[in-house]
Amino acid sequence: MCMHFWYVGPAAAEEIHILDTDHYLHGHFSDFARQRIDLLNNNYSGRPDKLLLEQRGEAYVSSYRLADPASLEVLVRKTGCKTSPFIGVMRFTKRTFESNGGCPDSAPQGPFQVVRKQHVTEIFRYDQNQWR
């Protein structure tokens, strides 16, 4: 497998070729990234439709995680490698929401507030006509 790393400074910026957003691979990767966000949200153990509940001291905390589809950013770059000619980079924000209550029944009632934000970057390679 070919791997290229670039220093993105003023002198090296011309080495990176980012595909235009109207290029078919950019659209293909955007669809892939949206499906990935959906997959992540469906596989989290705590979701809005399947809340986690735990006791912390005397209080109960209900929580869930969400990869925010509105925060999704994608770009596709040429690599110069024959076996993996493109890489796709997706960035998004994952948020953890919590609600506190005095009993197990009141915590899931909300209101939920964001208690953690995590910025996530995932990199995929384009190989044999699919993103991996």
Q: Residue 119: in which H helix or E strand, if any? A: strand 113-127
- Model's pTM, two decimal places? 0.80
Ranges in the chain, pLDDT < 50:
1-14
Instruction: Give the pLDDT confidence score for residue 15 in this predicted structure.
Output: 55
Residue 2 vs residues 79, 121, 125: alpha-carbon distances, Å:
9, 20, 10
pLDDT digits (tens, 9 = 90+) for 58-83: 999 999 999 999 999 999 998 888 88
Helix ranges (H only) for 2-105 are 24-43
Residue 67 vs residues 39, 82, 117, 128: alpha-carbon distances, Å:
10, 33, 10, 28
